[in-house]
């Protein structure tokens, strides 16, 4: 398998750097940080994790970046990733797979969702690079290009593919539990109640106690079983079971409410950029 070098390009992403480097090292043979002038601790964090740093203050254009990458002892395949708000850590394995597909040049330009133009006809000076996967011959061809050139002007013998990198579509979220149905609204309200033990537990205790007392006091007054005594007996049993059920519901809702709050607190602590 050909050796792969991943170059993380960007600036001021110190909070994401360590996780990106660790994941990149799992997928590639070499990981390099191409810093665009960070003002935070990005470079310091890179040094702590032994990640080599290349400082770049020039234009962020494909020909210029290719010259920088070509002058840094390139491996057989180089994958340049522009780390910005659009890039997510979960996208890295897909880009690595694209880089291992034996393309001489595989790159994408950041564009809007409504952009339907041909990316191969976009001049490098008008394009914002999203990712670039290139072989050594591909880097040489790109480094010799002018900023006003387009990918269509590359050597026809090179295997080239250029794509748009559009933002992820906004998927309409599923209907929330509180609006799914009236029963769901009631259930959600019960979960959000601060004291479900008060709403169901106390009535349940009262009903259970009443049913228990009636079972001993009322049923003992009947000397024989008839329709009246059977009806009263069933009513007493129903009241007792309703009280027991209400106590169980109150206890279950109380426990579920605690679990929901714990899950929400854990979710709020998850990193949003990864």
- Considering the domain boundaries, does residue 40 fall inside one? yes
- 138 and 51 in a single domain? The answer is yes
pLDDT at 34: 96
207 within a domain of the structure (yes/no)? yes
One domain for residues 207 and 105? no
Q: What pLDDT is stored for residue 190 in this prediction?
A: 58
Q: Tell me if 274 is assigned to some domain.
A: no
Of the residues 165, 192, 220, which one is the last residue of a structural domain? 165
**Are 197 and 249 members of one domain?**
yes
Domain span at residue 48 reads 4-165
Residues 133 and 67 in one domain: yes
Euclidean distance between CA atoms 239 and 75, whole angstroms: 79
Convert the pLDDT of each residue in 66-82 to its tens digit: 999 998 877 889 999 99
Task: Please check whether residues 38 and 161 belong to one and the same domain.
Answer: yes
Query: What pLDDT sits at residue 274?
Result: 43
pLDDT at 60: 93
Same domain, residue pair 190 and 247: yes
Q: Measured between alpha carbons, how far is 93 from 24 in angstroms, rounded to an integer?
A: 9
Below-50 pLDDT ranges, the chain: 177-179, 272-274
Residue 85 located in a structural domain: yes
Indicate if 159 and 256 belong to the same structural domain.
no
**Is 60 among the domain residues?**
yes
Per-residue HEC secondary structure of the chain comes to: CCCEEEEEEECCCHHHHHHHHHHHHHHCCEEEEEECCCCCCHHHHHHHCCCEEEECCCCCCHHHHHHHHHCCCCCCEEEEEECCCCCCHHHHHHHHHHHCCCCCEEEEEECCCCCCCCHHHCCHHHCCEEEEEEEHHHHHHHHCCCCCCCHHHCCCCCCEEEEEECCCCCCCCCCCHHHHCHHHHHHHHHHHCCCHHHHHHHHHHHHHHHHHHHHHHCHHHCCCCCHHHHHHHHHHHHHHHHHHHHHHHHHHHHHHHHHHHHHHHHHHCCCCCC
Task: Name 60's Cβ contacts closer than 8 Å, sequence gap at least 6.
Answer: 9, 36, 128, 129
In a domain, 190, yes or no: yes
CA 31 to each of CA 57, 61, 258: distance values in angstroms, whole numbers, following the listed order: 20, 21, 44
- Whether 171 maps to a domain, the answer reads no
What is residue 230's predicted lDDT score, i.e. its pLDDT?
A: 72
Domain shared by 47 and 150, yes or no: yes
For the entire predicted model, the pTM comes to 0.62
State whether 32 and 149 are in the same domain: yes
pLDDT at 46: 94
Q: How many domains does the chain have?
A: 2
> Do both 188 and 240 map to the same domain?
yes
Instruction: Judge if 44 and 90 occupy the same domain.
Output: yes
CATH number for the domain harbouring residue 103: 3.90.550.10
90, 202: one domain: no
User: What CA–CA distances, in Å, run from 43 to 6, 36, 46, 149?
Assistant: 17, 10, 5, 33
């Amino acid at each position: 398998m050909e050796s792969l070098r991943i170059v993380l390009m960007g600036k001021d992403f110190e909070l994401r750097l360590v996780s990106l480097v660790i994941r990149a090292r799992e997928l590639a043979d070499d990981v390099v940080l191409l810093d665009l002038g960070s003002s935070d601790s990005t470079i310091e964090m890179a040094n702590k994790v032994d990640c080599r740093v290349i400082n770049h203050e020039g234009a962020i254009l494909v020909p210029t970046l290719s010259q920088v990458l070509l002058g840094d002892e390139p491996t057989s395949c180089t994958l340049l990733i522009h780390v910005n708000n659009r890039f997510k850590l979960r996208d890295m394995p897909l880009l690595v797979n694209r880089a291992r597909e034996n393309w001489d040049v595989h790159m994408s330009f950041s564009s809007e969702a409504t952009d339907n133009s041909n990316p191969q006809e976009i001049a490098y000076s008008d394009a914002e690079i999203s990712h670039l996967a290139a072989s050594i011959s591909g880097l040489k061809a790109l480094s010799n290009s002018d900023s006003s050139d387009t990918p269509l002007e590359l050597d026809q013998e090179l295997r080239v593919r250029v794509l748009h990198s559009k933002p992820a579509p906004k998927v309409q979220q599923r209907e929330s539990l509180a609006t799914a149905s009236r029963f769901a609204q009631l259930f959600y309200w019960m979960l959000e109640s601060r004291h479900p033990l008060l709403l169901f537990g106390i009535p349940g205790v009262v009903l259970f106690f009443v049913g228990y007392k009636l079972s001993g006091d009322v049923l003992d007054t009947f000397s024989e079983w008839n329709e009246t005594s059977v009806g009263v007996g069933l009513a007493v049993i129903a009241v007792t079971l309703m009280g027991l059920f209400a106590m169980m519901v109150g206890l279950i809702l109380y426990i579920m409410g605690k679990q929901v709050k714990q899950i929400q607190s854990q979710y709020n602590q998850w990193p949003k950029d990864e």
